[in-house]
């Protein structure tokens, strides 16, 4: 199969060769006609090679200009600008040639004029086709089914006109005009698809207007140059007698003109769009402040900065009541001025909020007020509530009167409510961490552990996968997950945190974060486990470590690379031999060695798999489970259990192994969590 790079080279070579053959046969036929030579050569040949030049140029730019879904819109318009600039410079050189040699016989020679005109044809085709492809990318941004159908009809009709041009219809003839009007109607309808403009900010809109206007100047220049050379009356091929070329000119001009007008009309709304976008970003920051590991003070800062930005406040403060000293965070105002403003407030409703006497839902109209302060004239005061209890107040100030409105209040209220939720969550987490009661610790750890395990395992049609975990009375830190960083490549991990209780669950959460961060790079397992050890070494307590087994499954090549970091050896079942082998390569748990010496204990292995093969990952809660005789379940029981259920669906395999384990325990209690991850290759 041809690569994209090879397609670009072939289309470029085809385009150059087509132009050379077009020019050669055009000039040769002109030479034959001038000297009345008896040569039997079809006049269709130049038309054929001009058509192949257009098609080759189209394919070249289709392969080189990326879709708008994956590129900046301004970059697309920049390509039009640069291509137009280069081709226009070439066109200016042709005009310069006629200007310099205007009074000489060389500029009156038909062969010279046609040769230079053919160069101009090549430049015009390059500019028109490249701009056509860019316009297509922009039109089909966020495409619908009906739009695709309309564009397909237009594009096929447009390129059918290449064959129509072979019949030699001249500009403004009946057939020419009929075909042109048909194509122009499609071009006009398609030119109103301008969804991409809404995603430009104010600066980008001005840039797009500039680039589009410059492309219009290029079009005008090319038309003037083509008309001037057509007036010589010696052209063997007149580009303006071709419906395809004239239709492209009309389409490019229509889309450019409508795009400039729509962009200009959208300029006043750009600031609103950017403001709404910033509000959404700020809201997201508040939503993620606690999950991102930030403390309450950082949430306060985000709330204050976001609120000021949303309502264009000149100053603000956030006060949070505490059993000790209240927290006061200010922006653009000093602490003494804060007290002056509190004293100058006359509205009783705002006073209640500032003095923590607020109780119940607030009215949007009543929290906006005016001030008689020399520096500030407008005020918004919103209570910060947790569990229907006021814990603080957010105050925003403006230097002018009547600066705030109802919409601003709604925005700030949303920010404060989200911050309250984040603060409440933070408070609950702090209380859970601080409590030493065993039942509360077990409950929190179980909840954290369950939420961090994937509810659905990523896979493709080359394999199926099932994960399962069950917490014992004493909570551990079992973890499994799978990510697909690259199409067809899957990174699979299973791990077990040492220790019990909440600390193990939180260490598992850290392991999850590191896995999701590093596994996205699609590096080899050895590199992953080394980086994971370095990362975990910085956040684990000195007495803690994590055992893990990490696989990189390449479904395209049917092979796996894997490392083992002190974890239970995985079991690999070969369908062809009907045997199980243990993947027992050496390795140390994460956090046991917390320096570069750890790297020498990392062993990466590779194994190929075939359809029907199966991989079983598990934690030590299964093999270390003991019955009433203090006998461990171990691999001696796990492997036969797997073989007994090997031909069943994954859910039944899991149920069969767990059933055999429970039968072995005979009512004896499990001492640890137990987890399974089963992969069957198709």
- Which stretch of 127-131, 183-187, 242-246, 369-373 has the lowest confidence by average pLDDT? 369-373
Is residue 131 within 8 Å of 217, Cβ to Cβ? no
- The string of DSSP letters for 214-231 reads HHHHHHHHHHHHHHHHHT
Say if residue 427 is in the same domain as residue 478: no
Domain end among 434, 454, 482: 434
**What is the C-alpha to C-alpha distance for residues 586 and 339, in angstroms, rounded to an integer?**
67
Could you give the C-alpha distances from 518 to 87, 515, 521, 528, in angstroms and in order? 47, 5, 6, 7
pLDDT bin (cut points 50, 70, 90) of residue 293 is very low
Structural domain includes residue 27: no
Hey, what are 320's tokens? Answer: 């949070």
Say if residue 126 is in the same domain as residue 228: yes
Structural domain includes residue 122: yes
Phi and psi based region of residue 499 (left: phi greater than 0; alpha: psi -120 to 50; beta: remaining): left
Is residue 364 within 8 Å of 349, Cβ to Cβ? no
Q: Report the range out of 33-42, 149-158, 285-294 with the highest average pLDDT.
A: 149-158
Does the structure show a pLDDT above 90 at 365?
A: no
Say if residue 534 is in the same domain as residue 619: yes
**What is the C-alpha to C-alpha distance for residues 478 and 676, in angstroms, rounded to an integer?**
10
Say if residue 449 is in the same domain as residue 419: no
When comparing pLDDT for 261 and 419, which is higher? 261
List all residues 6 or more positions away from 56 whose beta carbon is below 8 Å from its beta carbon: 11, 12, 14, 15, 18
Which is nearest to 468 in space by CA: 333, 653, 342, 316?
A: 653
Q: What is the mean pLDDT of residues 470-497?
A: 85
Say if residue 423 is in the same domain as residue 537: no
pLDDT bin (cut points 50, 70, 90) of residue 644 is very high
Instruction: Provide the pLDDT for residue 89.
Output: 94
Q: What is the mean pLDDT of residues 226-249?
A: 86
- Which residues sit opposite 318 in a β-bridge? 329, 394
pLDDT (tens digit per residue) in 447-460:
666 777 888 899 99
Instruction: Provide the pLDDT for residue 270.
Output: 57
Looking at every residue in the chain, the average pLDDT score rounds to 84
When comparing pLDDT for 658 and 196, which is higher? 658
Say if residue 449 is in the same domain as residue 426: no
Structural domain includes residue 36: no
Say if residue 377 is in the same domain as residue 447: no
Domain end among 384, 414, 434: 434
pLDDT bin (cut points 50, 70, 90) of residue 30 is confident
Q: What is the mean pLDDT of residues 483-498?
A: 92
Site of tokens 């486990």: 529
pLDDT (tens digit per residue) in 571-605:
999 999 999 999 988 899 999 999 989 999 999 99
Residue 670 gets which letter from DSSP?
P
Say if residue 243 is in the same domain as residue 374: no
- The string of DSSP letters for 353-415 reads HHTT---SPPPTTTTEEE---SS--EEEEEEEEETTEEEEEEEEEESSTT---HHHHHHHHHH
Does the structure show a pLDDT above 70 at 504?
A: yes
Structural domain includes residue 563: yes
List the domain range (segments joined by +) for residue 175. 57-272
Instruction: Provide the pLDDT for residue 290.
Output: 46
Instruction: Provide the pLDDT for residue 292.
Output: 45
Is residue 274 within 8 Å of 359, Cβ to Cβ? no
Length of the chain: 682
Apex 453 CA angle, 448 and 455, nearest 5:
120
3-state secondary structure of 603: coil
Instruction: Provide the pLDDT for residue 405.
Output: 73
**What is the C-alpha to C-alpha distance for residues 508 and 330, in angstroms, rounded to an integer?**
38
Say if residue 598 is in the same domain as residue 548: yes
Structural domain includes residue 15: no
- Which stretch of 158-167, 258-267, 279-288, 490-499 has the lowest confidence by average pLDDT? 279-288
**What is the C-alpha to C-alpha distance for residues 600 and 582, in angstroms, rounded to an integer?**
22
Question: For the domain that residue 347 is a member of, what is the CATH number?
Answer: 3.30.450.40
Say if residue 449 is in the same domain as residue 540: yes
Does the structure show a pLDDT above 70 at 42?
A: no
Burial class (CB within 10 angstroms; exposed 0-12, middle 13-18, buried 19+) of 49: buried
Q: Indicate if the alpha-carbon torsion angle 653, 654, 659, 662 is positive or negative.
A: positive
Q: Report the range out of 171-185, 370-384, 538-552, 555-569 with the highest average pLDDT.
A: 555-569
Say if residue 76 is in the same domain as residue 178: yes
**What is the C-alpha to C-alpha distance for residues 140 and 135, in angstroms, rounded to an integer?**
9
Question: For the domain that residue 650 is a member of, what is the CATH number?
Answer: 3.60.40.10
**What is the C-alpha to C-alpha distance for residues 377 and 39, in angstroms, rounded to an integer?**
93
**What is the C-alpha to C-alpha distance for residues 422 and 76, in angstroms, rounded to an integer?**
41
Q: What is the mean pLDDT of residues 619-627?
A: 90
Does the structure show a pLDDT above 90 at 126?
A: yes
Does the structure show a pLDDT above 70 at 350?
A: yes
Instruction: Provide the pLDDT for residue 352.
Output: 83
Structural domain includes residue 497: yes
Any alpha helices (H) in 435-524, and if so which ranges? 438-452, 501-518
Domain end among 434, 452, 470: 434
Q: How far is CA 86 from the centre of its chain?
A: 33
pLDDT (tens digit per residue) in 195-219:
888 778 788 888 999 999 999 899 9
Q: What are phi and psi of 112, to 5 degrees?
A: -65, -45
Domains in the chain: how many in total?
Answer: 3
Site of tokens 């046969």: 25
Instruction: Provide the pLDDT for residue 205.
Output: 87
pLDDT bin (cut points 50, 70, 90) of residue 1 is low
Structural domain includes residue 213: yes
Structural domain includes residue 30: no
Instruction: Provide the pLDDT for residue 289.
Output: 47
Say if residue 111 is in the same domain as residue 171: yes
- The string of DSSP letters for 420-431 reads HHHHHHHHHHHH
């Amino acid at each position: 199969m041809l690569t994209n790079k090879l397609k670009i080279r072939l289309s470029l070579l085809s385009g150059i060769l087509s132009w050379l053959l077009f020019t050669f046969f055009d000039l040769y036929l002109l030479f034959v006609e001038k000297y009345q030579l008896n040569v039997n050569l079809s006049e269709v040949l130049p038309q054929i090679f001009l058509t192949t030049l257009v098609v080759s140029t189209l394919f070249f730019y289709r392969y080189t200009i990326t879709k708008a879904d994956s590129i900046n819109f301004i970059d697309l318009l920049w390509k039009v600008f640069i291509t137009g600039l280069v081709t226009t410079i070439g066109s200016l050189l042709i005009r310069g040639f006629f200007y310099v040699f205007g009074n000489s016989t060389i500029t009156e020679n038909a062969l010279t004029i046609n040769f230079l005109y053919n160069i101009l044809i090549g430049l015009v085709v390059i500019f028109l086709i490249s701009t056509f492809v860019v316009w297509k990318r922009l039109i089909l941004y966020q495409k619908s089914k009906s739009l695709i159908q309309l564009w397909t009809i237009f594009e096929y009709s447009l390129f059918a006109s290449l064959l129509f041009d072979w019949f030699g219809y001249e500009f403004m003839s009946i057939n020419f005009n009929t075909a042109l009007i048909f194509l122009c109607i499609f071009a006009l309808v398609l030119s109103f698809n301008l969804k991409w403009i809404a995603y430009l900010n104010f600066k980008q809109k001005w840039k797009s207007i500039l680039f589009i206007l410059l492309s219009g100047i290029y079009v005008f220049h090319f038309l003037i140059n083509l008309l001037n050379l057509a007036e010589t009356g010696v052209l063997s091929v007149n580009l303006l007698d071709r419906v395809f070329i004239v239709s492209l000119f009309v389409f490019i001009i229509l889309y450019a003109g409508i795009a400039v007008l729509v962009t200009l009309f959208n300029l006043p709304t750009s600031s609103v769009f950017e403001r709404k976008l910033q509000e959404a970003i700020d809201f997201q920051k508040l939503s993620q402040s606690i999950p991102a590991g930030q403390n309450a003070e950082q949430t306060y800062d985000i709330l204050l900065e976001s609120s000021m930005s949303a309502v264009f406040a000149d100053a603000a403060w956030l006060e949070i009541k505490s059993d000790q000293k209240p927290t006061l965070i200010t922006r653009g105002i000093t602490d003494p001025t804060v007290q002056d403003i509190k004293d100058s407030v006359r509205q009783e409703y705002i006073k209640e909020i500032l003095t923590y006497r607020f109780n119940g839902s607030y009215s949007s109209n009543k929290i906006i007020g005016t001030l008689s302060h020399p520096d500030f004239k407008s005020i918004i005061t919103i209570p910060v509530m947790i569990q229907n209890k006021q814990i603080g107040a957010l105050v925003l100030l403006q230097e002018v009167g009547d600066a705030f409105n109802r919409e601003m209040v709604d925005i700030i209220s949303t920010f404060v409510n989200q911050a309250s939720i984040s603060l409440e969550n933070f408070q609950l987490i702090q209380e859970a961490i601080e409590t030493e009661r065993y039942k509360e610790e077990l409950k929190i750890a179980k909840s954290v552990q369950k939420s961090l395990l994937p509810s659905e395992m990523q896979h493709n049609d080359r394999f199926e996968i099932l994960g399962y975990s069950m917490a014992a009375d004493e909570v551990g830190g079992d973890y499994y997950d799978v990510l697909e960083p690259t199409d067809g490549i899957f990174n699979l991990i299973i791990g077990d945190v040492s220790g019990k209780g909440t600390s193990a669950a939180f260490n598992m959460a850290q392991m999850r974060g590191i896995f999701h961060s590093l596994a996205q790079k699609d590096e080899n397992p050895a590199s992953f486990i080394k980086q994971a050890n370095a990362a975990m070494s910085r956040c684990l307590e000195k007495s803690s470590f994590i055992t893990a087994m990490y696989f990189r499954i390449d479904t395209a090549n049917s092979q796996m690379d894997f490392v083992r970091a002190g974890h239970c050896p995985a079991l690999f079942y070969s369908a062809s031999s009907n045997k199980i082998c243990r993947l027992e390569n050496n390795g140390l748990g994460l956090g046991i060695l917390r320096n570069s010496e750890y790297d020498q204990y990392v062993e990466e292995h590779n194994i190929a798999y075939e359809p029907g093969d199966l991989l079983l990952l598990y934690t030590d809660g299964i093999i270390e489970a003991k019955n009433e005789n203090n006998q461990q379940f171990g691999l001696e029981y796990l492997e036969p259990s797997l073989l007994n259920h090997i031909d069943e669906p994954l859910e039944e395999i899991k149920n069969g192994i767990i059933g055999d384990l429970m039968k072995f325990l005979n009512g004896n209690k499990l001492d640890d969590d137990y987890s399974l991850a089963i992969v069957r290759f198709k």
